Structure 1
Amino acid sequence: MAAHNELGKEGEEAASAYLSSRGYRIRHRNWHVGKLELDIIAEKDGELIVVEVKTRRNTRFGLPEEAVTERKIRRIVLATDAYVKRFAIDLPVRFDIITVTGIQPPFSIEHIEGAFLSPVW
């Protein structure tokens, strides 16, 4: 596996552990529907939380959360809609971003709750 893929996998592990340690129940990780993917789907306090994880070695070329573009948000929302329908979920949905920065653990982790809203088409 390429080094950047390995770092991304480690970042998702760190993000998942971070959420679990704060009382989130992880429902799924790397859930796919067609070509769409959700990194982490969690639940806490009666909310479904969809988490996009962005891992970077450093912020030299910008902040990790800047990689969550409008196109990416639309794809996350489409995948979330499929997830909610597939599992017949009747909970409010929140979209978060977790940024993971560093070369190896312990990483610097930032949790951006309510990072974006579902766009209106």
Structure 2
Amino acid sequence: MAEHNDSGKLAEQLAADFLVGKGYELVETNYRHGHAEIDLITKHKGLLIFVEVKFRSGTGFGFAEEFVDSVKRKLLIKAADQFIYVNDWHNDIRFDIIGVYKDRTGKINFRHFEDAFY
């Protein structure tokens, strides 16, 4: 597996741990529908939350949340619609983005954007 894939999978696990530590319930990871993949699906306070995780080893090329463009959002929404249908979910939903950043010392930091888009 390529190094960027390894770091992406590690970032997803770190983000999942971060959310669980904040009281979120992890429902599913890497949910696929067609060409779309939702990194994390969680529940929190009655909401079903679809989470896109982006890893950056710095901010020189921009922040993680800037890399979730309109095409990616459409794919996420399409996959979320399928998950909602298959699981017969009738309550509210939300789309979040979590940026996972590694600083020069190797320390991991998170930026959590709740209700990032729809």
TM score, norm. by length of structure 2: 0.94
- Decide whether the 8 Å contact of 2:35 with 2:75 is kept in 1: no
Extract unaligned runs of 5+ from structure 1: none
Matched with 2:27 is: 27
| Corresponding residue number in structure 2 for 1:115 | 116
The letter for the 1-side match of 2:115 is: G
1:78-89 equivalent positions in 2, closer than 5 A: 78-89=78-89
State the one-letter code of the partner of 2:3. A
User: What is the aligned partner in structure 1 of residue 76 from structure 2?
Assistant: 76
Q: Which residue identity is paired with 2:112?
A: H
* Paired AA for residue 110 in structure 1: R
SS class of match (1:91): coil
Report the residue type matching 1:113 in the other structure: E
Q: What's the Cα RMSD here?
A: 1.4
Runs of 4+ in 1 over 2 A off after TM superposition: 103-106
1:56 Cα deviation (Å)?
1.1
The size of the alignment, in residue pairs, is 117
Could you list the per-position Cα deviations for residues 14-49 of structure 1 after superposition, in whole angstroms to 9, with x for gaps in the alignment?
100000001100000001112211100000111001
Alignment partners' CA distance in 2, 1:31 and 1:106: 28
2 CA distance for matches of 1:102 and 1:6?
14
Structure 2 unaligned segments of length 5 or more: list them.
none
For residue 79 of structure 1, what is the amino acid of its counterpart? Answer: A
**Are 2:95 and 2:115, in contact at CA under 8 Å, matched by a contact in 1?**
yes
Matching of residues 1-121 of structure 1 within 5 Å: 1-102=1-102, 106-117=107-118
Q: In 1, Cα distance between the equivalents of 2:93 and 2:111?
A: 20
